[in-house]
């Protein structure tokens, strides 16, 4: 596992450099879910693949930017799914973006998800790694990721990050989101999954939601390399997660780019989601 974390750290340092120095023009290509790829998306995908090639314990990788999985060492232990540059469309307005990694032992089955990691590229470059019951927070300082602290969520938070197009939310979802605001929750939503969830984790908790909507009935966020890694991180940090009715960490992806509605947060807020969704 240490070899994989080291590969992620090397990739993160290179990606940070690419973000700071590279043009952000769109390519002529689309990824597996129809997003037009930035040149930067393609470059950052290559960076992660190059660093992972040096990790002998990686069997197979899945990238948001690649249609198919790629076998690297057919007898190796770990299967890694990643989004190399999530929220890249925010770079041209200088908002924070991130990389997300799900590390699976033996196959991409959700029961084999054993670690999860993300990197936030913002005013600072920060890395969070969940494994063996702990969520560890690191800060990049002079080219080295330095451990800062363990992340533990409170029972109840105060931030509300409601994703998706509001006019396409189910009415009961809108009532739930509005209800939290009426209880004094603060709106914190940038449109970047990684910084939005990082803020909730570091500011003590709250709710991030990306529900099933009329335009995206299966949700927008991908299971293997977005929803499940964050579900693992929030659960490990003492919070909770759901697709509205089920524990995300019991849900198997049928296809490597499957999406799911997803909610992540402190226990109080996730209990509220389950209560509202159970009745609808």
Interface contacts to ligand P6P, rule CB under 6 A: 86-87, 163-164, 191-193, 220
Q: How far apart are CA 21 and CA 9, in angstroms?
A: 19
Residue 169, token pair as written in the block: 């939310």
Longest C-alpha distance within the chain, in Å? Answer: 54
Cβ at position 233, least distance to ligand P6P in Å: 15
Rounded to a whole number of angstroms, the distance between the first and last alpha carbons of the chain is 42
Q: Between 5 and 38, whose beta carbon lies closer to ligand P6P?
A: 38
Phi and psi (nearest 5°) for 198? -60, -40
Cβ at position 141, least distance to ligand P6P in Å: 26
Q: Between 198 and 220, whose beta carbon lies closer to ligand P6P?
A: 220
Q: Between 164 and 239, whose beta carbon lies closer to ligand P6P?
A: 164
Q: Which residue is nearest to ligand P6P (CB)?
A: 193
Q: How far apart are CA 134 and CA 32, in angstroms?
A: 33
Q: Between 4 and 193, whose beta carbon lies closer to ligand P6P?
A: 193
What are the b/e assignments for 236-274, b being 16+ CB within 10 Å? bbebbbbbbeeebbebebeebbbbbbbbbbbbbbbebbb
Cβ at position 279, least distance to ligand P6P in Å: 25
Q: Between 158 and 220, whose beta carbon lies closer to ligand P6P?
A: 220
Cβ at position 30, least distance to ligand P6P in Å: 14
Cβ at position 213, least distance to ligand P6P in Å: 9
Q: How far apart are CA 131 and CA 192, in angstroms?
A: 23
- CB of 44 within 8 A of CB of 85? yes
């Amino acid at each position: 596992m240490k070899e994989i974390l080291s590969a992620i750290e090397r990739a993160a340092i290179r990606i940070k450099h690419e973000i700071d120095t590279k043009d952000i023009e769109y390519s002529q290509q689309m990824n597996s879910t129809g997003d037009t790829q930035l040149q930067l998306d393609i470059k950052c995908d290559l960076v992660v693949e190059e660093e992972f090639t040096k990790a002998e314990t990686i069997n197979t990788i899945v990238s948001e930017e690649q249609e198919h999985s790629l076998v690297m060492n057919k007898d190796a232990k770990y299967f890694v799914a990643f989004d190399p540059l999530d929220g890249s469309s925010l770079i041209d307005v200088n908002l924070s973006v991130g990389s997300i990694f799900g590390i699976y032992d033996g196959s991409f089955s959700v029961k084999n998800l054993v670690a999860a990691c993300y990197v936030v590229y913002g005013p600072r470059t920060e890395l969070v790694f969940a494994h063996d019951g702990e969520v560890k927070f690191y800060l990049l300082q002079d080219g080295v990721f330095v451990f800062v602290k363990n992340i533990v969520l409170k029972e109840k938070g105060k931030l509300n990050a409601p994703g998706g197009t509001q006019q396409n939310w189910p009415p009961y979802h809108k009532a739930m989101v509005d209800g939290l605001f009426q209880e004094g929750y603060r709106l914190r939503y940038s449109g970047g999954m990684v910084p939005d969830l990082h803020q909730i984790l570091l500011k003590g908790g709250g709710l991030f939601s990306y529900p099933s909507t009329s335009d995206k009935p299966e949700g927008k966020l991908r299971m293997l390399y977005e929803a499940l890694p964050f579900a693992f991180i929030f659960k490990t940090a003492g919070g909770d997660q759901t697709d509205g009715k089920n524990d995300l960490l019991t849900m198997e992806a049928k296809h490597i780019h499957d999406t799911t509605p997803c909610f992540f947060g402190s226990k109080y807020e996730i209990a509220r989601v389950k209560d509202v969704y159970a009745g609808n």
